[in-house]
Structure 1
């Protein structure tokens, strides 16, 4: 059918040839289709820019090389993220004359290998720094590594200065400052509350990591550090002590022999239904759940029923306690870190790894059963609470 809609007229194939195919290369593709890389050009995408840079710093923490991340909203609206990790690699490839820093900031095809067994995956499969650079009107990178300070500046993803070595330095780490491009984003004004909530979440999920956020628009500093990790997270979600069924929260961690999956769980029942459940995979919130959630819920219901029957809190003739009843008033945080996470859907908020289901079931069955047996009074209170909610 031709443009007029008449199928009887022949089509001139010469009107459509290779010249009509547009190939977007490198950072041009990011600037033309930003939503494909950060989700949107609205507030969500604007804040995702920060999370992309923070993800690199958290990866350094997971590798055992950083314990502090400082995020600043400057008076002119820029974002600066500094960490005390090893610093981005600075060596220069002889064939191109390009430093590893410049490659990571400009090449979509350049994704560094994981520096630890688990990726944070808060962003774009290791391409986050490159995407942030492409979508910034101005970006400056400063690296302290190899006994010197190194810097380079970029404009809309293009270097406008050489990668330069400066004075000697005994420090180590990376600082990236960027201004989001007003020609791309619907707004360039960051929300202190939105950033603080996500950074606090990362501090909960990575116990011992100190993350500070300072707003210079006016100055408003906040520092998140939680040595108790998920226990502190559950306490944060359960702010009413009088409503708690038991205290403290139940918590346990486990890692498989191959060191390819690490599980953290914290949970606590309260009398304020329906409760709160949050799951994460490599520090990314899995709003749509996935295999790790399914494994946790399945094992939890089975263990509660088994314990209730062994302790004669329900009779052999009673029906099993339902999963819905077990979860009433339960506040729980489940976090898994995987060497090779598989996220489903374009929003990447559902975990698809089958091994996460299997391993978390094994972990919950082992650790929760032991906790219930060793805390008979608390266990009885939990079962009574669950039975009362099911009436």
Structure 2
């Protein structure tokens, strides 16, 4: 057998393969690999750092700068934040926090301020001490804002002086310089989004108004002033009762089922919990959840824990008090008409997805479940009047759900419209059975039905007169909707079931 390494042995079971480069194929070497700086990478791939380059991503720039100011407030160092949209389309965000340090950083060899503005993953959010909890884009927020701006200017008031540095498309124009004295402290960031990155750089007042008000609700006592110089609009948000006022705001168009708002707050195993609960006469669930001020629209483990505790505690009280007997409400029943704000402070949150809309920390579910369950059980025992309102509301929802189920079953058991024998009496049916070509016209009253009858194409067009204004299906429970004769006529005429 040959031992020549250039002639590998072969066997009937192990065929020998030889790779040959196709004619004209380009080689792959170190020259084909390119290294991008932080600035280049952010500008070429902005969607990796913000949601996108549409209006959503544009407004995210403001959120990132404001998040830094909110982090100062959460740490107890800031109480006022100002946001202004200038006439030229630039935005100013200012706070009265400690101010970004300006001295040279030992690891960088230049100003810490310049490092914060130009170096990714450089800041006080990666180690314990500066911030216990924080929002923003994993500590890269303000750097990304600078990189995606046509120009940016930062002023820092600190240690009796005012320091300033300017940037053009992320590149410092000059060194950090001292430009004056000040007896105040804080950071002022002014930036103008780059039209080379964002097709539309026109900030929307309503979008920023909604988010800034939300942040003021979530950060009790922090004053946020917002002004749009373009339209001379503005408002100051300041809520001393925090999320309790948030619930009042959410229920402003509804009638509360009980006057008091249930408030659960405290630190549980290192997780800060702030929950406000109130039921209203509505039939829908209205729950807003946040982790470190980030809106978790997709929920997560904190919502799972909250829902489990709510259902378990309400049902336990209902059974103990004798209100629940044969029929026990499910989770959806217990949450009918519920308005709640759930705000958590988690030291090391794990969000699923880059957009941070779902919390993934497994330990948080148990913490929230235990804390909410313990508090709510005690509250219901100590407030029997409110407890009875909540428990009976859940029972009523369960009874309505059961009635709706029976009504659906009754409708399904009827013969379909195409099977004959199940058509409403007032239906002027069409003769065709080709579903894609047929049309059903709903008209108000018999007189309108007669007029439509004379002008229709009998082969394809059917007419169904309805008696007056039908029930509002959006505001009524399913059982009431399905019991309505006009609704049943429509279901029967369409023949699709429910």
Regarding TM over 0.5, the answer is yes
- Among 41, 49, 58, the residue aligned to 1:29: 41
Q: Deviations over 1:35-63 (max 9, x none)?
A: 11011000000000000000100000011
Cα pair distance change 1:116/1:99, threshold 3 Å: closer
Report what 2:411 is aligned to: none
CA distance in 1, matches of 2:48, 2:195: 18
Report what 1:49 is aligned to: 61
CA distance in 2, matches of 1:379, 1:351: 30
- Which shifted more, 296-305 or 243-252? 243-252
Report what 2:144 is aligned to: 131
Matched, 1:323 2:323: no
- Among 346, 353, 358, the residue aligned to 2:366: 358
CA distance in 1, matches of 2:149, 2:338: 43
CA distance in 2, matches of 1:155, 1:14: 39
Matched, 1:220 2:233: yes
Report what 2:154 is aligned to: 141
Structure with the bigger percentage of strand: 1
Q: Deviations over 1:299-353 (max 9, x none)?
A: 00000001111211113xx243200100111111111111000001222211011
- Among 87, 102, 120, the residue aligned to 2:134: 120
Matched, 1:272 2:282: yes
Q: Deviations over 1:359-381 (max 9, x none)?
A: 11111111111211111111111
Matched, 1:256 2:268: yes
- Conserved? CA contact 2:329–2:397, under 8 Å: no
Tell me, which stretches of 5 or more residues in structure 2 are unaligned?
A: 1-18, 400-498
- Conserved? CA contact 1:254–1:363, under 8 Å: no
Report what 1:295 is aligned to: 305
Q: Deviations over 1:149-196 (max 9, x none)?
A: 000100000000220012221110000000000110021000110001
- Conserved? CA contact 1:141–1:152, under 8 Å: yes
- Among 85, 91, 101, the residue aligned to 1:73: 85
Cα pair distance change 1:13/1:112, threshold 3 Å: farther
Report what 1:164 is aligned to: 177
- Among 189, 193, 209, the residue aligned to 1:180: 193
Shift of 1:13: 6.7
4+ residue runs over 2 A deviation? 7-16, 93-97, 111-120
- Conserved? CA contact 1:63–1:115, under 8 Å: no
CA RMSD of aligned residues (A): 1.7
1:307 is paired with a residue whose SS is: helix
1:38 is paired with a residue whose SS is: coil
- Among 51, 59, 62, the residue aligned to 1:39: 51
2:265 is paired with a residue whose SS is: strand
CA distance in 2, matches of 1:95, 1:368: 50
CA distance in 1, matches of 2:73, 2:217: 13
CA distance in 1, matches of 2:387, 2:158: 52
TM-score, with length taken from structure 2 = 0.74
- Among 378, 381, 386, the residue aligned to 1:370: 378
Shift of 1:136: 0.4
CA distance in 2, matches of 1:348, 1:168: 40
Which structure exhibits the higher relative contact order, with contacts defined as CA atoms closer than 8 Å and separated by 6 or more residues? 1
- Among 282, 285, 292, the residue aligned to 2:295: 285
| Structure ID, larger Rg | 2
